[in-house]
């Protein structure tokens, strides 16, 4: 009962959605839209579960005064402050208040400032930080030990150096052409093979899930 009903649900909904794709009937379209709305709503509740989990873990860390618990205070404070600004704001008459059903919170200056001056700088810098780690990993990994490694090294170098202003106009032009050819031809072929492989792999895995062969989503118990 605890495991059979979920497998049956996956099978029924999965098979229905596969056949629905090939049916242009009005009712089929309506049910498709209806079910897509349903999973969107269920997905939102799942996201809420994730946020609750973050609160729970942080609170637990603070309560038990675990290592670096002070940083969990920062996380919780930031979370609640952001949520507070997101549901409060000023209406068209300039009156402040809580707005749960309308979107005044999204235009709240503090909500925008938190987004523009905290979230964006940190996330952008975290991604830019990867430039250093990728370069250092490449320095260690990219050794021209054999033909394959040399091909990897050369194509990466050409793509990276193509906009280098020190090459001069003539060399720069050729570098650009070679880099464009590398990106549009061998890279395209490699990407195409990988994409076809990924697509077939996803279909295979999805079929295993629908047919009940793969049941990892149920967890233990």
Partner 1 sequence: MEFGTFLWTTLGAVLTLAIFSFLYKDNPFYKFAEHLVVGVSAGYWAVILWHNGLVPNLLERLRDGDWYLGWLNSSKPWYLIPAILGLLMWTRFSKKYSWISRWPISMYIGIATGVAIPLEMSNRVNKQLYAAMSKIHWDNFFGHGFLDTAAAYSEIIIIIGTIAGLIYFFFSKAHTGAFGTIAKIGIYILMIGFGASFGLTVMARISLFIQRIQFMHEDWAVVAFEETNPNYGWFQFFFWLVGFIIIAYIARELYVYIKNRDKQMVKPS
> Which of the residues 88 through 127 are near partner 1 (CB under 8 A)?
100-101, 103, 105-106, 111, 113-127
Which of positions 189-208 make contact with partner 1 (CB under 8 A)? 189-200, 202-203, 206-207
Query: Could you tell me if 10 and 210 are in contact, meaning their C-beta atoms sit under 8 angstroms apart?
Result: yes
Applying CB under 8 A, among 29, 63, 209, 213 the residue interacting with partner 1 is 209
For the bound state, the minimum distance from the C-beta of residue 213 to partner 1, rounded and expressed in Å, comes to 12
Residue number with CB closer to partner 1 (16 or 168): 16
DSSP annotation of 146: S
Query: Cα dist. 110→20, 21, 87, 98 in Å?
Result: 46, 45, 11, 14
Query: Could you tell me if 85 and 114 are in contact, meaning their C-beta atoms sit under 8 angstroms apart?
Result: yes
Residue number with CB closer to partner 1 (45 or 166): 45
Residue number with CB closer to partner 1 (93 or 115): 115
Please tell me the distance from the alpha carbon of residue 219 to that of residue 214, in angstroms, as a whole number.
Answer: 11
Pick from 47, 13, 60: which is nearest to 32 by CA?
13
For the bound state, the minimum distance from the C-beta of residue 95 to partner 1, rounded and expressed in Å, comes to 19
Longest CA–CA span in the chain (Å) reads: 73
Please tell me the distance from the alpha carbon of residue 41 to that of residue 35, in angstroms, as a whole number.
Answer: 10
By CB under 8 A, the count of residues binding partner 1 is: 129
For the bound state, the minimum distance from the C-beta of residue 26 to partner 1, rounded and expressed in Å, comes to 18
Which of positions 141-180 make contact with partner 1 (CB under 8 A)? 147-149, 151-160, 163, 174, 177-179
Which of positions 21-80 make contact with partner 1 (CB under 8 A)? 21-22, 35-52, 54, 68, 71-72, 74-80
Please tell me the distance from the alpha carbon of residue 87 to that of residue 190, in angstroms, as a whole number.
Answer: 47
For the bound state, the minimum distance from the C-beta of residue 201 to partner 1, rounded and expressed in Å, comes to 9
Neighbours of 102 (CB within 10 A): 9
Tokens of 1: 């009962």
Applying CB under 8 A, among 29, 66, 91, 129 the residue interacting with partner 1 is 129
For the bound state, the minimum distance from the C-beta of residue 65 to partner 1, rounded and expressed in Å, comes to 16
Please tell me the distance from the alpha carbon of residue 69 to that of residue 172, in angstroms, as a whole number.
Answer: 53
For the bound state, the minimum distance from the C-beta of residue 180 to partner 1, rounded and expressed in Å, comes to 10
Applying CB under 8 A, among 20, 62, 90, 172 the residue interacting with partner 1 is 20
Query: Could you tell me if 139 and 153 are in contact, meaning their C-beta atoms sit under 8 angstroms apart?
Result: no
């Amino acid at each position: 009962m605890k495991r059979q009903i979920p497998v049956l649900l996956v099978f029924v909904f999965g098979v229905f959605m596969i056949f629905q794709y090939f049916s242009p009937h009005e009712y089929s379209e309506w049910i498709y839209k209806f079910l897509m709305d349903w999973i969107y709503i269920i997905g939102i509740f799942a996201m809420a579960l994730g946020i609750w989990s973050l609160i729970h873990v942080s609170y637990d860390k603070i309560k038990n005064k675990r290592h670096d618990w002070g940083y969990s205070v920062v996380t919780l404070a930031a979370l609640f402050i952001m949520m507070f600004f997101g549901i409060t704001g000023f209406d068209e008459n300039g009156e402040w208040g809580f707005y749960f059903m309308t979107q005044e919170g999204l235009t709240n200056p503090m909500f925008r400032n938190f987004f523009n001056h905290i979230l964006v700088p940190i996330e952008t810098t975290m991604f830019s930080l990867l430039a250093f780690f990728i370069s250092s990993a490449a320095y260690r990994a990219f050794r021209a030990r054999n033909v394959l490694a040399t091909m990897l090294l050369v194509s990466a170098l050409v793509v990276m150096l193509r906009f280098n202003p020190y090459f001069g106009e003539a060399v720069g032009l050729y570098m650009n052409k070679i880099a464009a050819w590398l990106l549009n031809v061998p890279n395209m072929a490699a990407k195409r093979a990988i994409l076809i492989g990924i697509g077939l792999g996803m279909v295979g895995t999805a079929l295993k899930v629908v047919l009940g062969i793969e049941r990892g989503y149920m967890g233990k118990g």
